[in-house]
Structure 1
């Protein structure tokens, strides 16, 4: 029976990480679905084709399309879902069905900005997306004694997610949420700049493992913002058995194994596989180590709370003051620490690469930074951030070309019409943002790094007179499931990159970046950037 259930759920793990981190900077715009579950205005204005007419790869008798995701015989590689998405778009068009996946809802891939907008605009107050079943199982079953009725945001949906989100989003998502933390983040970034200078070799190159160093900066930044604590990640003599090193290692282990657990056949539902054991051990170690840091931060804040203004408080302190619920504050901090390190770090590495490979754009950025920051050591404060328009455009363009999360999705809670097709309730609709944001129709010359696309049209003749569709590049998701830490991630990226490119000229003299899904869209290449100090040229 267990094996039959496992086989019946085979497809459940194929699309989950595509939709595990919906993020975007738009404000929420919610519209209720039509009463009969269909879009009456659309259906009345044109002929709507039946669901069976949606194009897609042919299903074989009995096994449908499930075989395409299997090792060796399948051609939809889990590690190369980006390639699979491009293949579906090139072969079948803007709406593609991958059905017959053995006992699990079909996948419908949507490659059109208008169609994506339509689905997002009509979603319910509690948007439902295929979440990470392994993390949900960890929170709601294996460690239910800890999480109880407060499982957090990651891997959760429904009423529990809605209640949690409603109570924390005012602290994290209002427009000025990150502005009070700019000075502390500048302090962390300055310490990391000192470490960067130390890490360069006699060729002025960074080491192959520089991505792991960026992880340390990201973890230190989140710790400072969420806990009002310095975790000590940027020191020169971090012992391999230190708590900070173990936190970083547990995050690495989690991300190294989550793709295996989520995207391959979920044997962990039947027995504890070696991968599952490493995955759970990493989550346990991460939770225990972080909870120690969180508890210490809470203990420190108790005598200070009545004397401090809210502007000076950490996120944990603000949540406690707002909700009087220490567990909610602790679980939120865990979620921020778990998912905020990998995503921000990968974004930094991709931005470094794009600017290193496009020296004329880097020089344009340097001229902006030179105007805003009088010296390389000048602090990046709120006033500076407001003036860094070209830097923000560089980040947007990088995330268009290489979004950290290559797609997200929704599980339809009512029938709807997408394109010319009637799509039934329960279908998993996937938005492959990596493909959509690199289509010529949406971005002329999509393979070119053109930050000017995001500025006034007269700065980019290639795109003059052409507005960017608001739903074809969604690096932070959209609506109520937009990335909860988006404003802090943007502040971290802007501050660190401003400091790096104000002080150094970056070069990269190795093979073009290759990316893999692990589960974020992460570069496989060593990050041996050459950083040359501007004053010493």
Structure 2
């Protein structure tokens, strides 16, 4: 994408891709905004054809009428989203999960402490450990269950370990299935079979726990239960009476909520290790709202940590977990003066657009202040430089419009809570040079995340 932009400019057509349609890359923020603003009632996002195949063909009998929101388009997507968005999207819904997410974050912080070596550094496989935290957090929201993924002594044949193994198998093989030549369309190779096997494990687990919840609901008197004590799963089952719908929603949230949140967390920690002044500023902010290193991150704390939120935004600008968004045009359009026909796959390469000087002052510098109102950004030499007004469509880590992330509020809460706990208690270092990133298809660090945790003494 960088080469396309540097060699050809702000709009580039790429054709002749084996197994894929022609692509139109758009690097201009105004054009991106124009396409999104003209979005149809049923926006079509070109993504995950293998997951679409799994839902619409391999397991059609299970998913028919409950197709979900990932890898699905059109009327089926619209019908499903309408049934779940009223439960998921209100801010109050995410707030009721702050307490259980605090418990999970505390458990993971204990695990981090236990994992440190004699140099106070975390192990080389720490990203895999972060995946377990994210998996436990997503499952607590989507399945109303603790899976036990943070238990340091899991038996190899336990259900929790099998779930962990499945999430790893899925992420290890999704790049092979989705990004390379789609040979699975004619030959079901080893990667595809592992990928489908992982999906089947998730589907089975989700259906098992949703069925258990539905059975338990029969013995509850909801007239005597407060609204904030009714889970998402229960609310959806009350609203629809459909356990398959709840299970498919949980499946979709697991598929898109584990690696994305994990990588966002890892990248934010890394950025703060490379910018000690920002880390000190964050520590001072956290001390003001969290009296002790063991303080909970409650609703009030979350409403008073603007610098932490800015650090996350700046990280996702520089290293977006999803490097691009896109739409398959459902009608003819004019983009940068070109007539673009219906059916064209338009790609918005946010990794590039959010890292060029057209839209960000010193784009290679980590400057969280650019996201704060009435704040100047630190300059490595001059002491301060004003960031121009940020274009609203050049950094969209959670997407935009009707196809934006349904789990955004939960993902943000997970990040706020764990990052606040980590940086309130520790000064974090990374002493192994600059991280490089690869596409998997998320944008993930390649090197081991051997962060060093130095406990702060007040």
Q: TM-score range, shorter-chain basis?
A: over 0.9
Match of 1:303 among 196, 219, 222: 219
2:286 equivalent to 1:353: no
Determine the structure 2 residue equivalent to 1:497.
419
Determine the structure 2 residue equivalent to 1:373.
290
2:42 equivalent to 1:126: yes
- 8 Å contact kept, 1:228–1:313: no
2:193 equivalent to 1:271: no
Determine the structure 2 residue equivalent to 1:230.
146
Deviation for aligned residue 1:463: 5.3
Unaligned residue ranges in structure 1 (runs of 5+): 1-84
Q: Hey, which bits of structure 1, 4+ residues long, moved more than 3 A?
A: 100-105
Measure, in 1, the Cα distance between the counterparts of 2:412 and 2:8: 36
Q: Could you state the TM-score of these two structures normalised by the residue count of structure 1?
A: 0.82
Deviation for aligned residue 1:486: 0.4
More deviation in 436-445 or 225-234? 225-234
Determine the structure 2 residue equivalent to 1:337.
254
2:232 equivalent to 1:315: yes
Measure, in 2, the Cα distance between the counterparts of 1:216 and 1:141: 30
Deviation for aligned residue 1:103: 8.0
Q: Label 1:465 to 1:215 Cα distance change in 2 as closer, same or farther (>3 A).
A: closer
Please give the secondary structure, in 1, of the residue aligned with 2:457: helix
Match of 1:407 among 324, 347, 350: 324
Determine the structure 2 residue equivalent to 1:169.
85
2:6 equivalent to 1:90: yes
Deviation for aligned residue 1:293: 2.8
- 8 Å contact kept, 2:138–2:254: yes
Determine the structure 1 residue equivalent to 2:52.
136
Determine the structure 2 residue equivalent to 1:248.
164
Q: Could you state the TM-score of these two structures normalised by the residue count of structure 2?
A: 0.96
- 8 Å contact kept, 1:215–1:345: yes
2:430 equivalent to 1:508: yes
- 8 Å contact kept, 2:426–2:456: yes
Q: Label 1:316 to 1:194 Cα distance change in 2 as closer, same or farther (>3 A).
A: same
Q: How many residues align?
A: 452
Measure, in 1, the Cα distance between the counterparts of 2:60 and 2:112: 41
Specify which structure has the bigger relative contact order, considering alpha-carbon pairs within 8 angstroms and separated by 6 or more residues: 1
Measure, in 2, the Cα distance between the counterparts of 1:154 and 1:245: 25
- 8 Å contact kept, 1:131–1:157: no
**Coordinate RMSD, CA, aligned:** 1.5
Please give the secondary structure, in 2, of the residue aligned with 1:141: helix
Determine the structure 2 residue equivalent to 1:77.
none
Q: Residue by residue, what CA displacement relative to the aligned partner does 1:6-49 show, whole Å, maximum 9, x if unpaired? A: xxxxxxxxxxxxxxxxxxxxxxxxxxxxxxxxxxxxxxxxxxxx
- 8 Å contact kept, 1:247–1:290: no
2:399 equivalent to 1:483: no
- 8 Å contact kept, 1:253–1:278: yes
Deviation for aligned residue 1:523: 0.6
The structure that has the greater radius of gyration is 1
Deviation for aligned residue 1:248: 1.5
Q: Label 1:358 to 1:102 Cα distance change in 2 as closer, same or farther (>3 A).
A: closer
